[in-house]
A = this chain, B = another copy of it.
Amino acid sequence: MYAVAIRGVGMTRFGKFPSRTMKDLATEAAILALKDAGVTGAEIGAVFSSNSLAGLLTGQESVRAQTVLGPLGLAGITVVNVENACASGSTAFTLAVQAVRHAEARYALALGFEKMAIGDTGRTVAAIATGRDVEESAGEAGWTFMDGYAQKVRHHMEVTGTTVEDFAAVAVKNRRHAALNPCAQYRDLVTVADVLGSRPVVAPLTQLMCAPITDGAAAIVVGPADATSPVVAASVLRSGSDPGTEAVTAVAMAAYERAGIGPDEIGVAEVHDAASPAELIAYEELLFAAPGAGVGLLRSGATEIGGRLPVNPSGGLVSRGHPIGATGLAMLHEVALQLRGEAGARQVNCRSGLVYNAGGLVNDAPAAVAVHVLRNP
């Protein structure tokens, strides 16, 4: 059993790129990660690849990774295509970490990519909805994940007194972060009024609180720990067992225990804000705040860059963008850069960091929840 580190990271800019293909996005991210790690394609022993929608949107099912690996000189190695809806990237990462930890490979590449902007929003939104059991959806034409989030958000408001302005403030904060991130999809500052005045999606969610349609790719090279690279202290992936908050908290507690690092010691976090309110709820799910105290943590400014525990310094899913299969790896990319002290204008003070990535919804519980804890060596 070897100590495992993130040895290299790479990502494309996220956005809507009519002229870019899944392949060229994936190749760019992978080349950047290999270069950052200082390893060649020939040194990679296994590839775990995450993509969620290509089968439905571009017709490329089945062997998505293999179609992008040729230019990287990757062949004759183990290649696995994985899927777990919006947690696909984390799934690829968890398997890459296990492969290196157990010496199945010296270096493994986790590579996530998604081409969502195909010029047909309805088709893209319908494809995303397959992260739910399609039989559950059958009686609810037009159901989207934002319906699921809105239900959870309304419940949280009732119980805690959090207001829609608080949720808008999350979106405003994360846009300020994204403005500092050259890879982010949206970088123009917005106000609470802008957020609340944007197109209603499902009450209380408005467009500027919802993750957009995004093209992009991100890649991580996992390898043996060394003197400088962020160490993977825990990488836990589970299928949600219980409806609601409990599933996420169970995974987080398992990750804290395995890492030997508690929520109080986390200095930076990237969390799954497919809708902005989910970030505030995650403060409580991840035990950064007591039940009902998430809103207080937000209002204190602690989760802004410069605060005690900056959350989503990359801009998060809503502002950095959310190319499904790439998202988990982009979150890890951000926390790795922060730990390395290479996050430029959005650098925070931290020695350990957390990634929380969720995907899908089956039986009213997340189909996959991943929590990764990273720390400096």
| Chain A interfacial positions (CB closer than 8 Å to B) | 1, 23, 47, 52-53, 55-56, 58-64, 66-67, 69-70, 74-85, 91, 94-95, 98-99, 101-102, 104, 127, 130-135, 237-242, 247, 250, 359-360, 362-363, 365, 367-368
B81 with A84: CB separation less than 8 A: yes
List 13 contacting pairs A-B, 8 Å CB cutoff, sorted by A: A52-B61, A55-B61, A59-B130, A62-B360, A62-B367, A63-B130, A67-B362, A74-B239, A76-B250, A77-B239, A79-B368, A98-B104, A102-B102
B-side contacts of A58, CB under 8 Å? 134
Q: Which of A52, A66, A91, A359 has the most CB of B within 10 A?
A: A66
With A75-B241, A84-B80, A240-B75 as contacts: A62 and B95 at CB distance below 8 Å: no
Q: What is the copy number of this chain in the assembly? A: 2
Residues of B near A74 (CB, < 8 A) are 239
Q: Which residue of B lies closest to A246 (CB)?
A: B76
Name the distance in Å between A109's Cβ and chain B's nearest Cβ.
12
Which chain B residues border A94 with CB–CB below 8 Å? 78
Do A76 and B362 form a contact, CB below 8 Å, given A81-B82, A82-B81, A102-B101? Answer: no
Chain B residues whose C-beta falls within 8 Å of the C-beta of A47 in the assembled complex: 239
The smallest C-beta distance from A372 to any residue of chain B, in angstroms, reads 13
Q: What residues of B have a CB within 8 angstroms of the CB of A77 in the complex?
A: 238-239
